[in-house]
Amino acid sequence: MTTILAFVFVLGVLIFVHELGHFIAARRIGVRVITFSLGFGPKVFSFRRGDTEYAISAIPLGGYVKMAGESPDDPRSGKDDEFLSKSKWQRFQVLIMGPAMNVLLAIVLMWVVLLQGAQVPAFIDRPPVIGSVASGSPAERAGIQRGDRIVRVSGREVATWEDLSIAIGTKANREVPVELVRDGQTITLKVTPDPQTKYEVGDIGVFPDVHPSVISVVKGDPADRAGIRPGDVVLAVNGQPMSVSQQLSDAIAAHPGEPITITVRRDGQAVDVVVTPEKRGEKGIIGISIGEELKTIDPGPLEALRMSLQRNYEFSGLIFRTLGGLLTRETSPKQLMGPVAIAQLSGEYAAAGFIALLSLMASISLNLGILNLLPIPVLDGGHIFIMAIEGLARRDLSMKVKEQLLLAGFFLLMILMVTVIYNDLTRIQWVERLMFWR
């Protein structure tokens, strides 16, 4: 139920804000709005105020603002309150305001999230100097070593670990050139990131020069019996360097019932501790709470606004690069998400708290705003594109040409919709088991 409610809330707010942009712009220039609807299909609830019917419709995967004289097929009287009676510049304002409102919402939501402050890994904004390389990882196979400083991925500069994570994350199962500096020499290696998680996020198995620490030890569990203490800094497991908490958790979980040697730093000295993880389910645990070096972000209102603008600008660039990667096949279409995945994420983020849910909403709102500006007929950007062509040609396109463009745009959207829904279904285990061809 939480997932459904969170999904309805997220989608409802984003659609409402988008359509509100069109509505306000239309009313501002004097266009009569016939219907303002959240959702498509049969109307579940509606009321009329003035010339406009406000409605909630049965299919909650979109919305629309129906304007008088919006299409050449609509009955037209030639009155000034009809959409097509307005100039191209005025119509452009109406079309652009939907996506613009989504971008603005993303900025405001991210600003609210940042105002709350947060703890993030201390290394996230440090240069990506390799502290350790996972055994058997793509990085190890490619020849990346401890101490290497990665400077570019696919020709794009990476200044921080966050940049590296983003650059690699969109390249699962795609061979990418990684440029690095080793002993003052620049080297370029080919690396193919492995897909991780059900969303196939690329990973090459490199970690910063940091180590997780033991926050607490459960009395009587294997770690306690072996002598591991709170405050111990974990350097390695079976000789494999440990850099982040997830890496340590995975290393312990992989050896249920098997003795492992955990090297910790205690009072400035390296100490080897042999411990046998207890088998619970299919994984091993030793009874410790793990932490890592964190830093606190606590900006004031103006600094939070600056950070929000910067992050949305960076995320916008990532969206455009991802779209470009889909066209050049550098990015896997399996990373695309549809309504089912958004619903699942909404439930997960809602369980993490309202601020986490706002963070997800900011990301989706930015995506919605930018994707609606693509020059695909039936989208806002497609209508703007057609108007731009007509403006350059100084004449309107024929109805036949417009119908063909709209049909092509609808066909592209249907392909996209089938792709994202298929991706969503493959992420559901019981559904994937029914897909015998996979």
For residue 144, is pLDDT > 80? yes
73 vs 291, which has greater pLDDT?
Answer: 291
Same domain, 10 and 109: yes
Does the pLDDT at position 22 exceed 80?
yes
Residue 64 lies in a domain: no
Q: How much is the pLDDT for 432?
A: 63
Q: Are residues 147 and 227 in the same domain?
A: no
Question: What average pLDDT score do residues 117-137 get?
Answer: 86
Residue bearing the bigger pLDDT, 361 or 282 = 361
430 has pLDDT over 70: no
Same domain, 276 and 367: no
Residue numbers of the domain that contains 165? 132-207
Q: How far apart are CA 412 and CA 360, in angstroms?
A: 26
Greater pLDDT, 278 or 323? 278
Which residues 6+ apart lie within 8 Å of 162 measured at CB? 124, 125
Q: Which of 292, 322, 338 is the last residue of a domain?
A: 292
**Is 404 a domain residue?**
yes
Report CA 49 to chain centroid distance, whole Å.
Answer: 38
- Which residues are the active-site residues? 19
Give the separation between CA 135 and CA 206, rounded to whole angstroms.
10
Percent of the chain exceeding pLDDT 70 equals 96
Residue 153 DSSP SS3:
strand
The pLDDT of residue 435 is: 67
Which of 17-26, 229-238, 327-336 ranks highest by mean pLDDT? 17-26
Instruction: Provide the pLDDT for residue 92.
Output: 94
Cβ neighbours around 376 below 10 Å, total = 21
Q: How far apart are CA 154 and CA 167, in angstroms?
A: 8
What angle do the packed helices 88-115 and 301-328 form, to 10 degrees?
Answer: 120
In-domain check, residue 142: yes
CATH of residue 156: 2.30.42.10
Determine, yes or no, domain membership for 53: no
Predicted confidence at residue 318, as pLDDT, reads: 85
At 142, the pLDDT band (50, 70, 90 cuts) reads: very high
* Residue-level pLDDT at 438: 59
pLDDT at 337: 79
| pLDDT tops 80 at residue 248 | yes
Mean pLDDT within 152-165: 92
Residue 100 lies in a domain: yes
Please indicate, yes or no, if residue 265 is contained in any of the structural domains. Answer: yes
Q: How confident is the model at residue 187 (pLDDT cuts 50, 70, 90)?
A: very high
pLDDT classification of 123: cutoffs 50, 70, 90: confident
Share of the chain above pLDDT 90, in %: 44
Whether residue 433 is predicted with pLDDT greater than 80 in this model: the reply is no
- Residue closest to 202 by CA, chosen among 281, 139, 290, 276: 139
Among residues 249, 277, 292, the one where a domain terminates is 292
Q: Which residues contact 106 (CB under 8 A, 6 or more apart)?
A: 312, 362, 363, 365, 366, 369
The pLDDT, as a whole number, for residue 436 is 61
In a shared domain, residues 95 and 13: yes
CA distance 387 to 194: 44
pLDDT of residue 437: 62
Contacts of 296 (CB under 8 A, 6+ apart): 117, 118, 119
Distance of CA 207 to the CA centre of its chain: 22
**Is the domain of 251 the same as that of 190?**
no
Q: What is the mean pLDDT of residues 220-246?
A: 90
Helix then strand count (H, E) for the chain reads 12, 20
Same domain membership, residue 260 and residue 193: no
Write down the H helix ranges in 298-428: 301-328, 339-352, 354-371, 380-393, 399-426
Q: What is the pLDDT of residue 252?
A: 94
Max CA separation in the chain (angstroms): 87
Q: Is residue 7 domain-shared with residue 107, that is, in the same domain?
A: yes
Those residues with Cβ within 8 angstroms of residue 264's Cβ, 6 or more apart along the chain or in another chain: 214, 228, 232, 233, 234, 235, 270, 271, 273
Q: Is residue 333 part of a domain?
A: no
Q: Are residues 194 and 223 in the same domain?
A: no
Q: What is the pLDDT of residue 13?
A: 92
Task: Looking at the structure, tell me whether residues 195 and 258 fall in a common domain.
Answer: no
* Interval 257-311: pLDDT, tens: 999 999 999 888 999 999 999 988 889 999 998 887 777 888 999 999 999 999 9
Higher pLDDT, 29 or 434: 29
What is the predicted pLDDT for the residue at 398? 81
| Domains held by the chain: number | 3
pLDDT at 191: 94
* Judgement on whether residues 97 and 12 belong to the same structural domain of the protein: yes
What's the whole-number mean pLDDT along residues 418-437? 72
Q: What pLDDT band is residue 51 in, cutting at 50, 70 and 90?
A: confident
Q: Which residue among 292, 310, 334 closes a domain?
A: 292
Residue 62 domain-assigned (yes or no): no
pLDDT at 407 over 90: no
pLDDT for the residue numbered 351: 84
10 Å CB burial of residue 252 (0-12, 13-18, 19+) is buried
Cα gap 23→36, rounded to integer Å: 8
Together in a domain, 197 and 223:
no
Confidence band, pLDDT 50/70/90 cuts, at residue 55 = very high
**More confident position, 374 or 107:** 107
Tell me the average pLDDT of the chain.
Answer: 88
pTM for the full predicted model: 0.80
Residues 101 and 136 in one domain: no
